[in-house]
Every structure is written in structure tokens, then in C-alpha cells.
Structure 1
Amino acid sequence: MLNIVGYHGTSAESAVGIIKEGFKNSEGENEWIGKGTYFFIKGISSIPSDQALEWAIAEAWDNSNRINIYNRFAVIKSEIKVEEEHLLDLTIEDGVNILNYIIEAHKNKIQNMGRFFDYKDGYIIDFARGEGLLDIDVVKGNYYIKFAEQRKRGINLRTANCTICSVYEPNKNITSSTIVKEGDI
């Protein structure tokens, strides 16, 4: 059994709801590593809690209306438990090889699904889970995420700056969650 400590950044109001009712998964075709609840974890950064805080602040800003949609942030620390065979680790060669194998072995089926397709990581992972090709509960990978400073300055690097994980069934794999930071934006 692997133990992963993850940090989730959100509004203070949402954090209270999460602690009471549990996490709700992010869903959609543009998710980095598929449907799930997202956490910053140790990897490229040794301080993922700071990245979760930066994410919460960046996500508060509504660029269209030029205002914050919330004024208080929170960081939730969660304990995640997963069997090693149910973790897809895209930070190592074996994990990337699995993803590439799925693309090659099933490219015709993927392309014939009757919709535009551009081989996004999250879509491939969700496809593989839906087809029963991957029996995974947690995926982790290294990604570049634009926080507030990068958004303001228009910085859009391709070099990964954080390690994140997605937990597909939070009620199954998250054993505890507590709010560890709160503050004003």
C-alpha cells in the first residue's frame, strides 16, 4: 500500500463543504490526467502545499469580469492510500510506456469514436479506464501549471513545474482530509 500526501487548493467556502461532504471529481475532456480529484504532491516541488495555495489564488480570478470570484482561499491536506498496482505513474518510463501502448493498440477504436480527437493524456486515460484496459485508482504526472504570476506575465512554458495526482474514487482512496491553510486573497 502506498501512502501519498496531497494538497488541494480551493476557496475557503468550498473547503468547508469538502470536509463535510467529501470531494467531487473534476470531469471533462480537458482534465490533465483524467477525471478525478486533483492534488499537488511531492515530486518536482518539495513544497506542494505552497503550489496548492498558489492554485487557489490563481483560480479565484475571473479574467472575463476582472474580479475575484472568491476572496478567501484554503488548502486541504489529504492522506491518499492506493495499492501500487492501481497507480499509473507517468513520472517514470514504465507509466509513459503504458500510455503509449494504449494509444498504439487502440488508435483505430479511439479515432472511430465519432468525435474530434487530439490525443490528450486525460482523454486517453479515461478511455482506457472506461474500456477496462486500466484498473487504476490514482494517476500521477509532472505538468506545467500556470499560477497567478505566470498568467499575469503570459508565461507558458513546456517544462513541468509540479507533480499532481488525480484520485478517481475519493471515497475509496482518501482516508483523511483537513484544512491546513486559510487566508485572504
Structure 2
Amino acid sequence: MSDISDLNQLYVRAFHGTNLQYANNILEGGFYLRDDEEGWLGQGVYFFLDGICEGLPMAKDWSEFRYADSTPVVVMSDIVAPMSSVLDLRSMDQLREFHKFRLSFTEGNSDSLSKRRDLMVKKRRDIRLDDAIIAKAAMEAPGKSVLIHNIYIKTRKLRELQLESSYPTCTACCVSNISFIKSSQIID
């Protein structure tokens, strides 16, 4: 199954990079939601999808980077969700709606946003933190549970070169309603 969505339902095959111990835990007890302040796409379970690049090799690269000291693997899952729960920022219409939300959210929360960190210090990490704040609010406001977006995540070669970019390298997905994650299996 690749991305075969229709007007009412999202059906997509997704790839989650992890290690063997966590993968076995996922197969035994399912995914769990982690509270991560740097979750660029909000809070939930992260997957790579076929899109800008192939999802499986990207998940494999990520797991080999993140879990180099253990046994890196990939868990393949199918995501099935009502389209009303999906915020797909690959769509220009939905990206425009997200942008309108971001403008409104930043206007309405300017006091707290101005105190979120030392604004005189600029670091690459700040992009992830700021994106996480906006994505979490965007997902909570309209009751969305799946966010799909083309984003920049470094591959092994990009990490070796310490290459920074604002151009996306992959298509990723965050799922905050774990009941939408179906038929998981270890494939790598």
C-alpha cells in the first residue's frame, strides 16, 4: 500500500526508524506517544512516507544514525485515518490554511512566544522548537491527528557534511491518534 487516499480516507504505508528492542515493544504493546518539545510536526509517532524520497531508505538511514549503538531496524505500518483528521501540508490549500492559523496563533500568543527562549541567541535547534509550538497548536485547534509535510531531515551524507538547508529532503508524517496506525511489522 502506498498513498492511495480518497476523499474520505487516508491510506498510506509508513516507515518508522527505531531499534530492535523498541520495535519488539511496538509489536507487543503498540506505539506510544512521546512528549517531545522538538517534534517539528507536533506530538505523536513519526514516520517517513514515499514522497520526495522513498520512505523505507530514509527510515533506515535515520535508525542507523539514531540507534548506531544498538540494532537499528524499521517498522512498517499502514496508516488509515479519516481525511477530516489529516492536515496534509503537501496540499497548497491546506498549507494556506496552516499559514492563516500560524498568523492568528502568533498574533494571539505573542506575549508567551516572545518569552519562549533568549531571542538574542540564534541556533539551528530554535527552528525545531518554534515549529513544534506551532504544529502542536495547529493539530490541537481543529482536532487533527495526522500531519504530513515535506521537511528537511539530514541523511548520513548531509550529517557528515554538516549541511544546513531549508529545502526539504523527505516526506514525513506525525500521527497523534495511535488507533490510526495499523498492521505494524519489522521489515529491516
Shorter-chain TM-score range: 0.7 to 0.9
How far has the Cα of 1:164 moved from its partner? 0.3
How many aligned residue pairs are there?
Answer: 169
Instruction: Classify the secondary structure of the residue corresponding to 2:38.
Output: coil
What does residue 50 of structure 1 align with? Answer: 57
2:16 to 8, 12, 21: 8
TM-score (norm 2): 0.82
Q: Say whether the 8 Å CA contact 2:42–2:139 is kept in structure 1.
A: no
Runs of 4+ more than 4 Å apart: none
Q: CA separation in 2, counterparts of 1:140 and 1:129?
A: 11
What does residue 59 of structure 1 align with? Answer: 66
What does residue 112 of structure 2 align with? Answer: 113
What does residue 135 of structure 2 align with? Answer: 125
TM-score (norm 1): 0.83
How far has the Cα of 1:37 moved from its partner? 0.2
What does residue 153 of structure 2 align with? Answer: 145
Q: Say whether the 8 Å CA contact 1:27–1:34 is kept in structure 2.
A: no
Instruction: Classify the secondary structure of the residue corresponding to 1:58.
Output: helix
Mapping 1:26-175, distance limit 5 Å:
26-45=34-53, 47-60=54-67, 68-70=68-70, 72-113=71-112, 115-116=115-116, 120-130=130-140, 133-170=141-178, 172-175=179-182
The root-mean-square deviation of aligned C-alpha atoms, in Å, is: 1.8
Instruction: Classify the secondary structure of the residue corresponding to 2:16.
Output: strand
| The 10-residue stretch of structure 1 (4-13 or 142-151) with the greater mean CA deviation from structure 2 | 142-151
Q: CA separation in 2, counterparts of 1:137 and 1:179?
A: 24
Q: CA separation in 2, counterparts of 1:129 and 1:169?
A: 11
> Does residue 183 of structure 2 align to residue 176 of structure 1?
yes
| The 10-residue stretch of structure 1 (172-181 or 23-32) with the greater mean CA deviation from structure 2 | 23-32
Instruction: Classify the secondary structure of the residue corresponding to 1:113.
Output: helix
How far has the Cα of 1:92 moved from its partner? 1.8
What does residue 121 of structure 2 align with? Answer: none
Q: CA separation in 1, counterparts of 2:131 and 2:142?
A: 14
Instruction: Classify the secondary structure of the residue corresponding to 2:187.
Output: strand
Which structure dedicates a bigger proportion of its chain to strand? Answer: 1
Q: CA separation in 2, counterparts of 1:56 and 1:137?
A: 24
What does residue 4 of structure 2 align with? Answer: none
Q: Say whether the 8 Å CA contact 1:26–1:36 is kept in structure 2.
A: yes
Q: CA separation in 2, counterparts of 1:18 and 1:37?
A: 11
Q: CA separation in 1, counterparts of 2:155 and 2:35?
A: 21
Q: CA separation in 2, counterparts of 1:28 and 1:42?
A: 24
Q: Percent of aligned pairs with the same residue? A: 26
